[in-house]
Amino acid sequence: MTDDLDITKPACGAHATLIVTLTPAGTATNVARSRVVLHCAMPVGHKGPHLDPEHAEQWEAPEGAAPTLLRHEED
């Protein structure tokens, strides 16, 4: 095989939890709408923020940390 894709390179694998919130009409309260676990797909040792291309999210965190991110969506 001459497949040149570097798919065997280990991914960073950092985790983060993304919570999408929204504010129902007539209230001032944020409600959690969905919860997604993000996985960084960048190579191990990459520079800059972690990136989950599947969910189009990036985040910064110290090594080994698994932060919780909040994203607010308007209806």
Taking alpha carbons only, the member of 45, 58, 62, 37 closest to residue 10 is: 45
For the CB of residue 30, give the shortest distance to Zn ion in the complex, in Å: 28
Q: Applying CB under 5 A, does 12 fall inside the site for Zn ion?
A: yes
* Separation CA 18–CA 36 (nearest Å): 5
Q: Applying CB under 5 A, does 14 fall inside the site for Zn ion?
A: yes
Residues 55, 59, 65, 68: is their CA dihedral positive or negative? Answer: negative
Q: Applying CB under 5 A, does 16 fall inside the site for Zn ion?
A: no
Q: Applying CB under 5 A, does 42 fall inside the site for Zn ion?
A: yes
For the CB of residue 38, give the shortest distance to Zn ion in the complex, in Å: 10
Q: What is the largest CA-CA distance in the chain?
A: 61
Contact footprint for Zn ion (CB under 5 A)? 12, 14, 40, 42, 50
